[in-house]
Structure 1
């Protein structure tokens, strides 16, 4: 199958009717419909002659391509790990809208958090462990981590959990609020575009 003909499928995507196809690996049947259960390429093939099947075999198999790789200038999504006085470590989980297959680490340095008042940035008032952030890749960094920036308005914390365990809502560019307790916490909030 050529690259132009490849049909990439995501979990829950409808593939066809169970009356027309035989469900194969990477699929499941629900209400007489066949859905993808994994991310991959849709493959339709004729079943073996000896097999007692209703129709062509439909499967979703993992692609042979490499996963997304962070590059300077691309926007990534990641989960904040350790926060120190000068940096926040980030586990990169997506590059753009594509999920990474390998493990990539990033670092947001104090000088890369925002564009103004850089000397007044306190890392713990911008990020907390467990926050989900959007950041832009600045450079390849050192041997262990990419250097990331959240200095643009649309970059920063996109999801955070309060002490009460609720998903916090943004109330300004530097505060998020718990909907249960109404307590506000400081963050470098990403502007919703």
Structure 2
């Protein structure tokens, strides 16, 4: 902010946002959008921490070995390149919404598989078991 009064030299001030940015913490449940996938990991943008939307997304990585149902205490905390290392090491965590190559929203058919209702093709996914209180009607 730049302010000048009565012909004096201008005063330049740096103003911070009133609201501070919420940061993902170890053990926090986050909602992400997958940006890219390769054989070793998925790169994601973290959009929510709990039910709070972030002002700007954080980058994260889900490594292939961290897509599992148990042993969540074996997850590393992260590194400089990926920012946040994420896991699906609980039954409630995993894919909630997926789209097939045909562009159709896929339907979960088991805890580890989703199917395209249009082409009937199946894809392996660690499917989230969404708790009823989080379902929107």
Normalization by structure 1: what TM-score? 0.52
Matched with 1:161 is: 99
Give the Cα–Cα distance (whole angstroms) in 1 for the partners of residues 119 and 38 of structure 2. Answer: 27
Alignment of 1:1-193 (within 5 A): 64-115=18-69, 140-144=77-81, 145-193=83-131
Task: Return the offset for 1:115.
Answer: 3.9
Asked whether the 8 Å contact 1:170–1:189 carries over to 2, the reply is yes
- Structure 1 residues 53-104: Cα deviation after superposition (integer angstroms, max 9, x where no partner): xxxxxxxxxx821232111110001111222222111111111111111331
Give the Cα–Cα distance (whole angstroms) in 2 for the partners of residues 109 and 185 of structure 1. Answer: 18
Distance of aligned partners of 1:97 and 1:87 in 2 relative to their CA distance in 1, 3 Å threshold: same
Task: Return the offset for 1:184.
Answer: 1.6
Q: What SS does structure 2 have at the residue aligned with 1:81?
A: strand
Q: What SS does structure 2 have at the residue aligned with 1:158?
A: coil
Task: Return the offset for 1:151.
Answer: 1.4
Runs of 4+ with deviation above 6 angstroms: none
Normalization by structure 2: what TM-score? 0.72
Asked whether the 8 Å contact 1:139–1:147 carries over to 2, the reply is yes
Equivalent pairs counted in the alignment come to: 111
Matched with 1:18 is: none
Q: Which structure would you say has the larger Rg?
A: 1
Asked whether the 8 Å contact 1:72–1:139 carries over to 2, the reply is no
Unaligned stretches of 5+ residues in structure 1: 1-62, 119-137
